[in-house]
């Protein structure tokens, strides 16, 4: 059994081996750039760790693991255009460093590259893996569309928000684990339990992200703190704040959401203060814990020695208590 650290080193080495020094440079340099920014590499790590539960040899899972990471980074390129995000992982986003057209086209070729890597999966399970990957990829686009749609709507329920982040974030973690399990030779029940583990970790992970966006530390987080507040993003925090606020708080919150003229720091401070008064941080943390415990329950169902599952359990824990 490999540790998480050993696994991420394999991932990191394999990502470095991908060749982007090809022509036309305008197409491939942004890809090398975005992949060099790092990130936690959780998705490919999950694929290899799931495979490793069933097989000491994880070589066959490397290509699909990389495919999933390249796909994830593709979605970041396109999402950052749509969200007009200037910073990702502490560095200028591709559409800022180059331009929108570059981010569109380099993203497109990343999506194809992802499929090329996935297509290197063993022939006997190729179709099963491709079908799972494609369904997941479609769901991620659907999640992004819901996210875009929510920006235009006055009210979004907490359930709708959870469904959106399930599609936009959680399904790729589930998919990463399940693909690793299939490559490793897991049975259907185990593959599905690992998928559910990924879904619930993903949901908890995104709620943690919402919390970090308001309560995180900018240097660690790699993005601007308060970005969600400035863009009126209907996060789990804001949705509950809008539900709970009455009278003066309701009026103040609505004012901050509708005014076009404000100083960034003032709006962030004021909205955070309303969040604190209403206790929505706690509500978000509780929901995060809820999904975390569901995830662990799914992991418990996976029919392999409890020691082998220790690394996945540790990873889940770290994701909950991270500050970046």
Q: Which residues contribute to the site for a copy of itself (CB under 8 A)? A: 23-24, 26-27, 78, 81-82, 100-101, 104-105, 107-109, 111-113, 115-116, 119, 123, 126-127, 130-131, 134, 137-138, 141-142, 144-146, 148-149
Q: Minimum distance between the CB of residue 149 and a copy of itself, rounded to whole angstroms?
A: 6
C-beta of 12 vs 119, nearer to a copy of itself: 119
Sign of the C-alpha dihedral computed for residues 134, 198, 224 and 251 taken in this order: positive
Buried b (16+ CB within 10 A) or exposed e, 165-196: bbbbbbbbbbbbbbbbbbbbebeeebbbbbbb
C-beta of 28 vs 54, nearer to a copy of itself: 28
Q: Tokens 């690793």 sit at which residue? A: 180
Q: Minimum distance between the CB of residue 112 and a copy of itself, rounded to whole angstroms?
A: 5
Q: State CA 244 to chain mean position distance.
A: 28
Q: Minimum distance between the CB of residue 75 and a copy of itself, rounded to whole angstroms?
A: 8
C-beta of 109 vs 244, nearer to a copy of itself: 109
Distance CA 253, CA 102 (A): 38
The DSSP letter of residue 223 is S
Distance CA 41, CA 228 (A): 23
Q: Which two tokens stand for residue 58?
A: 């994880």
Q: Minimum distance between the CB of residue 231 and a copy of itself, rounded to whole angstroms?
A: 14
C-beta of 108 vs 252, nearer to a copy of itself: 108
C-beta of 144 vs 200, nearer to a copy of itself: 144
3-class state of residue 187 by DSSP: coil
Q: Minimum distance between the CB of residue 135 and a copy of itself, rounded to whole angstroms?
A: 8
Q: Which two tokens stand for residue 295?
A: 């995830």
């Amino acid at each position: 059994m490999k540790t998480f650290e050993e696994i991420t080193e394999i991932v990191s080495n394999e990502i470095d081996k991908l060749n982007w020094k090809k022509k036309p440079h305008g197409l491939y340099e942004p890809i090398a750039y975005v992949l060099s920014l790092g990130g936690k590499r959780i998705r490919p790590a999950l694929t290899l760790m799931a495979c490793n539960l069933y097989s000491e040899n994880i070589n066959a899972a490397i290509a699909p693991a990389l495919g999933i990471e390249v796909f994830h980074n593709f979605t970041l390129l396109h999402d950052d255009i749509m969200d007009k995000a200037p910073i990702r992982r502490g560095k200028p986003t591709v559409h800022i460093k180059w331009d929108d057209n570059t981010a569109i086209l380099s993203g497109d070729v990343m999506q194809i590259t992802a499929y090329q890597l996935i297509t290197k999966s063993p022939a006997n399970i190729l179709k099963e893996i491709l079908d799972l990957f494609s369904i997941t990829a479609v769901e991620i686009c659907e999640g992004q569309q819901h996210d875009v749609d929510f920006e235009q709507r006055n009210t979004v329920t907490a359930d709708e928000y959870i469904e959106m982040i399930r599609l936009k974030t959680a399904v790729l973690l589930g998919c990463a684990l399940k693909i690793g399990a299939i490559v490793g030779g897991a049975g259907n029940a185990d593959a599905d339990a690992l998928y559910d583990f990924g879904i619930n970790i993903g949901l908890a992970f995104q709620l943690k992200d919402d919390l970090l966006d308001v309560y995180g530390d900018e240097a660690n987080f790699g993005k601007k703190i308060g970005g969600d507040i400035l863009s009126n993003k209907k996060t789990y925090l804001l949705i509950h704040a809008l539900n709970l606020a009455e009278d003066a708080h309701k009026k103040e919150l609505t004012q901050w959401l509708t005014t076009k003229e404000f100083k960034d720091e003032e709006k962030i401070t004021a909205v955070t203060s309303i969040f604190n008064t209403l206790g929505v941080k706690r509500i978000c943390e509780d929901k995060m814990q809820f999904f975390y415990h569901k995830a662990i329950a799914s992991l418990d169902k996976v029919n392999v020695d409890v020691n082998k599952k220790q690394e996945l359990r540790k990873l889940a824990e770290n994701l909950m208590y991270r500050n970046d």
